[in-house]
Amino acid sequence: GAFQWRVLLNAATLRNEVRHLPDQDGDGREDDIILNQRMLLRPGLSLGTFYLVRYAGVDPANGDALFYDLEGEALPNTAPDAHRQLAGKSIPSVTGGFTHLFRFGAFDLQADFHFKAGHHIYMEDRNLEHTLGFGGNMHRSQLDAWTPQNPNTDVPQHRLYQNNGNQESTRFLDRADFLRLQQLTLGYTLQAPFGGKSRLRLFASANNLWTLTGFRGLDPDTEFYPTEGPALGTVRYNLPATRYFTLGFQLKP
């Protein structure tokens, strides 16, 4: 038959807002609530709003981690809570998908894509992998840590059991926008070998073949840790989506 091509598209957006919070200290104003040392509940803001000190890189003179204060000045090796700022949110601005359906003769091809955009993820596992003293494996980026011979780096000097860049900050916060080829299926339909009007469709399918993202973690579409509650937005060694392949057949009357 003739070549056919269909495109299906869906997209959704979610807007939410914290409306009211208790006034626990009795000063006549609703109180801010800090969750997990990195998220903020405040009237007028979205759930999942990150509230972090901004990471400013490394002092090439001594390897100190640097953090911005509220005036934009870099502070050496300190991240006081008073200088936390709004730093994005964990709820995507838009989420959706689109499907390409191709058919030519006895062949059919379907490509399903999924996307999310406009949100961030805090990588708690990266924090642990950048801290000497826990006794676990370190991230390979630590091979580029500051030394007198390697002063121009964004990885602070290693200091055993000392905070130097591993404080809660935007250093471990990443944009999590992504486009994923979630499923690709190729099929071929032929007359069933046992006669009659039945048709036999043979197909091969692959899932999670390809992902376009700037996210530095394992998977930008993984489940958050913890998995429920108002503090969603953190990953901690969450398993990525499995890539798998399927062969099969369908008998059509």
Binned at pLDDT 50, 70 and 90, residue 133 comes out as low
Confidence of residue 225 (pLDDT cuts 50, 70, 90): confident
Please, which pLDDT band fits residue 223 given cuts at 50, 70 and 90? confident
Give yes or no for residue 227 having a pLDDT over 90: no
Q: Cα dist. 33→54, 170, 225, 229 in Å?
A: 19, 19, 19, 14
**Domains of the chain, residue spans:** 4-252
What is the rounded CA–CA span in Å between residue 30 and residue 242? 44
pLDDT in the model for residue 1: 66
In this predicted structure, the answer to whether residue 134 has a pLDDT above a threshold of 70 is no
For the cut 80, the answer to whether the pLDDT of residue 32 exceeds it is: yes
**The pLDDT of residue 195:** 64
Both tokens of residue 10?
């869906």
Tens-place pLDDT, residues 157-183: 988 878 888 889 999 999 999 999 999
Residue 245 has pLDDT above 80, yes or no: yes
Closest CA to 169 of 40, 92, 81: 81
pTM for this one?
A: 0.88
Quick one: pLDDT at residue 27?
A: 87
| Mean pLDDT for the stretch of residues 76-104 | 92
Kindly write down the DSSP assignment for every residue of 124-174, as one continuous string: HHHHHHT-TTS-S---GGGGG--BTTB-S-SSPPP-TTS-SS-SSBGGGEE
**What is the C-alpha separation between 177 and 89, in angstroms, rounded?**
12
Q: What is the DSSP letter of 192?
A: -
